[in-house]
Structure 1
Amino acid sequence: MPTTRLIALDFAERAQFFAHLAAMEKAGVPALHALRSLSVPAHARGAQAELQAQLERGADMATAGLRSGWLIPLDATLLRAGQASGCLAAVCHRLAERYAHRAKQAAALKSRLIMPAAVLVLALLIQPLPQLVSGQLSVTGYLWGVLWPLLSLAALYGLGRSLYRRRQAAPAAKASLFDTLLVRMPLLGPALLRRNLRDFFDSLGLMLEAGMPMLDALPKACAAISHAPLRKRFSAVQLAVQRGQSLTQALNAVDFPGHGLALGLVRTGEASGTLPTSLLNYAAVETQKLDGFFEQLATWLPRLLYAAVMLWMAYGLVTGAGFAPRMPVELAT
């Protein structure tokens, strides 16, 4: 399927899009007409026009969103599952809530990083001043000492952002070395797995709640798992159910974080005839755990960065060096 480059919509803009789509879907307004009344930033208007053109040619929202670069593969998979199960409005509403919450978390993290960033810039400006005033350092050397660390940090940030966006735009079926590296990282690895598990159980619960048969819902729910090794493990669940096992029996043979709680809720749901509700409840539990993790991250990451900057400043005062690179000889005079 041909695709274009993914457009740079932030979390708040994606939340606005899905909330608008959910409201229009509930009101019975076709997606094409809903898009015409959606306000988007200037850099996304070309993709919006392409999205509308795809819908006019008869493509569904999930396919049109992928081709226009408007949707990431995971969101397109969830929308496609919502279209197939007749619960598109509910899926859009959940995506809107998810992105709104992520936008709030990102804004909180950015605001808490302002102070460490300001202290770092002040330290870079102040530390070489004695050498500049005494004539040991030229103006060019002073500027080099200030700008080099800032440019390096900016390059690292840009590289990380590029890798994140590339991973988001990658096809769900494509395994990557980036997946393996992320899962092995402390703290972030378990959070990534829990997010994928939440997407699986959430989409499966929504589809079963809308009346989709289990054998039809499971492949679509597995496709919602973006982490390729985990998705391969859960494909065994689909095969076991096809062979006549219950979902509890199939999940019992798969190892994943939160296995005990998930198995207990699924077993209770199957016994009481409320399996969709049990699956959605487990997804809600995983969402709460993820929220707690990101709240802790937003609280402690700025503190750790601030402490690192303060330690570097103290080291620089004692030794007169810090971590600044050695000035080239031709710039120091």
Structure 2
Amino acid sequence: MAVFEYKALSAQGKNEKGLLEGDSERQVRQALRDKGLTPLALKAVDKAASKNKANNSQHNQAWLKRAISIADLSLATRQIATLLEAGMPLTQALQGVASQAETRLMQRFLTSLHSKVSQGYSLAQALNQSPYKVPQDYMATIHAGEESGHLEAVLSRLSDTIEQQERLRKKVQSALIYPMLMVVVAIAIVFFLMVYVVPKVVSVFDNMSQSLPPLTQGLLSTSEFVQAHSLAMLAGLVGFVVFFKFLMRNDKWLYRWHSVLLRTPVLGKFLIYGAVAKWSRTLGVLVASGVPVKSALHISSQVMSHLPLRQKVLQLEEDVRKGQSLGQAMQQARIFPALLLNLVQTGESSGQLDAMLLKGASHYEYHVETSSATLVSVLEPLLIITMGGVVLTIVLAIMLPIFEMNQMMG
């Protein structure tokens, strides 16, 4: 069955819009007439996506798909889990949640899932074939839940995980907004001073018989350079950004860039702790849902957005397959914090690996929150001092000739 978006006219003369499933446009038009509606326009929602799937590679498909927001995905996941726990079949749960979706995007997304599941596909397969994009680890986790027969439990824990990760992401983003805003404003102010203010102020000294101080000459030269090459500088910046993004599409260069970030003092530790927190929570949810550790390690590697860390987790999977315990494999990886290693080893010996992983995730999520606040508290004064130093330099360059004129007149 296909999904159609319709526009119709009610018996009262009002325009109505919505989504309806059917084998053909003719069937959908008849269904609308049976409801007392006069169809005005029909459009197959997933026709373009199906054509893309037939003609493009899987990578290009994922790039072209419209992404579902984490907040909407979390809410829908929790609603579906609640209905499944109440004993409702998956198809009815999807249909019920779709009918209550607050946005047109989520309504289309959930309706497409309902259509696929009604045809006999599993939920994971429906997500993979959907014209909308969701995280790979999300699909892999649901697939594992269906394979283990614990889909309700997996969905419930998955919604908790998504909500916690979204809260952490928002806290880190909100903490970094102010420093980033300061940097942008500082650059804009300096550019404005160099292009518009400095030339007008310093032009007063053009008729002076004596030479200008070195600082003032340097400021004038910098100002003239910025004025003459401002467009070229802007084009160069845009070109650099485009070239950088092009390089990052290559796994080799992306791996090198991620390695540099992870080795950067302060920032590297911050990134590792954030990645470890996300990975620990995902792995803990999978193990708690009955997924074998080997499979859970492979699935959880998808949440590692930095390639060197992802390779480390995949190496963990290989080591565990060879017979090592998870704690031993993590110790050999040399990237995991000591506290998490102790928790994992304790969890393996006591049979509470899932609980220890979730406890470690909570600890490092809190650590990331406090670290982001500390990082901002350090960056703010540094940015203020740097900006003040630049402005002071410009002011001194302007005032020095004035001081010399006063001394000559005195």
Correspondence list, 1:1-333, <5 A:
1=58, 2-5=61-64, 7=66, 13-28=69-84, 30-31=93-94, 33-40=96-103, 45=105, 49=108, 52-53=111-112, 56-58=115-117, 60=123, 64=127, 68-81=131-144, 84=147, 86=151, 87-111=154-178, 113-114=180-181, 117-118=184-185, 121-122=188-189, 124-125=191-192, 128-129=196-197, 131-132=199-200, 148=230, 152=234, 159=241, 163=245, 176-258=255-337, 260-320=338-398
Q: From the superposition, tell whether residues 173 and 154 of structure 1 become closer, same or farther in structure 2 (CA, over 3 Å).
A: closer
TM-score, with structure 1 as normaliser: 0.71
Structure 2 counterpart SS, 1:304: helix
Give the match's secondary structure for 2:335.
coil
Change over 3 Å in CA distance of 1:297–1:83 after alignment to 2: farther
Deviation of the 1:103 alpha carbon:
1.9
Cα distance between partner residues in 1 of 2:258 and 2:179: 28
Q: Which has the higher contact order (CA 8 A, sep 6+)?
A: 1
In terms of mean alpha carbon deviation, does 117-126 or 279-288 score higher? 117-126
Unaligned runs of 5+ in 1: 322-333
- Does the CA contact (< 8 Å) of 1:79 and 1:92 recur in 2? no
Distance 1:134 1:76 in 2: 63
Q: Could you tell me which amino acid in structure 1 is paired with residue 166 of structure 2?
A: Y
Deviations 1:97-153 (A, max 9, x none): 22133223323432465556556545554564364378679xxx99x85x949x859
Higher strand residue share: 2
Over the residues paired in the alignment, what is the CA RMSD in angstroms?
Answer: 4.4
Gaps of 5+ in 2: 1-57, 85-91, 207-222, 400-410
**Contact kept? 1:74, 1:226, Cα under 8 Å:** no
Structure 2 counterpart of 1:56, one-letter code: S
> Which deviates more, 57-66 or 82-91?
57-66
Change (3 A) 1:256 1:126: closer
- Give the CA deviation at 1:314: 0.8
Cα separation, 1, equivalents of 2:269 and 2:129: 28
Q: Percent identity?
A: 18
**Counterparts of 2:188 and 2:164, CA distance in 1:** 36
Deviation at 1:220, TM superposition (A): 1.7
Give, in whole Å, the separation in 2 of the partners of 1:119 and 1:36.
49
How many Å separate the matches in 2 of 1:220 and 1:302?
A: 39
Contact 1:4 1:69 in 2 (8 A): no
**Structure 1 residues 130, 285: closer, same or farther in 2, change over 3 A?**
closer
**Structure 1 pair 99/204, CA: closer, same or farther in 2 (3 Å)?**
same
- 1:277 is displaced (CA, Å) by 0.6
Q: CA deviation at 1:255?
A: 1.5
Contact 1:73 1:172 in 2 (8 A): no
> Quick one: distance in 1 between partners of 2:292 and 2:198?
74
Q: Would you say the 8 A contact 2:67–2:134 is kept in 1?
A: no
Structure 1 residue 74, shift from structure 2 partner: 4.6
Do 1:17 and 1:38's aligned partners in 2 also have CA atoms closer than 8 Å?
no
22-31 vs 266-275, which moves further: 22-31
TM-score (ref. length: structure 2): 0.59
Q: Distance in 2 between matches of 1:84 and 1:76?
A: 12
Cα distance in 2 between the residues matched to 1:36 and 1:155? 47
Between the aligned partners of 2:371 and 2:236, the Cα distance in structure 1 is: 26
Distance 1:154 1:282, change over 3 A: farther
Instruction: Encode CA deviations 1:211-233: one digit per residue, 9 max, x unaligned.
Output: 22333323222343333333333
Q: Which has the greater radius of gyration?
A: 2
Equivalent pairs counted in the alignment come to 304
